[in-house]
Structure 1
């Protein structure tokens, strides 16, 4: 169950981040409201997941998958360019999360 909560936290965080881009500097109400609601719900699910998982690796997974999700969402929704260096950065982020999990991992407490 904690990994489901973490997945929900990631999904809401990505939604909030992409909504921030769509809010056009918080000048559009709908996307601006999604930013606030998305981050609140994301932090709620993250806090629930952290009641039984290790904070370091979980935060690494949350931020890394959120970064990858925002990158992919930006490409798909906002026609942002994909550059080789950007893809390399995304791969490095994922490798970092793998290394963190090998070093201590996510365990239920």
Structure 2
């Protein structure tokens, strides 16, 4: 169940990162509230996952899901450039996440 908590926590990290961007520096109320709620829920789920997962593994995967997820949202919905170097970098992060999961048993 810890891995499910961690996956959901990572997805909520993407939600709060996108909401933070949409909040325009916390000047827009609705995205600011979404950001705060998603952030709290993400941290809460991470805390649940940390009950049984190693800190280094859980934190690396949590931040990696957030980083790659935010990158993907930026590409698909915000018109950010999909340069070869950026795609390779994101692929390397995903590869590191897979290796971290496999190495944790």
The TM-score, its normalising length taken from structure 2, stands at 0.89
User: What aligned pairs does 1:28-67 form with structure 2 within 5 A after superposition?
Assistant: 28-67=28-67
Q: 5+ unaligned residues in a row in structure 1: which ranges?
A: none
**1:33-90: CA deviations, max 9, x gaps?**
1111111110000000110111111111111111110011112221222111111111
Could you tell me how far apart the structure 2 residues matched to 1:95 and 1:5 are? 21
**CA RMSD between the two structures:** 1.5
Count of matched residue pairs:
105
Structure-to-structure mapping, 1:1-109, within 5 angstroms: 1-102=1-102, 104-105=103-104
In the alignment, the residues of structure 1 paired with residue 96 and residue 10 of structure 2 have an alpha-carbon distance, to the nearest angstrom, of: 17
Unaligned 5+ residue runs, structure 2?
A: none
Task: Give 1:101 deviation, angstroms.
Answer: 4.0
Runs of 4+, deviation exceeding 6 Å: none
The two structures have a TM-score, normalised by structure 1, of 0.87
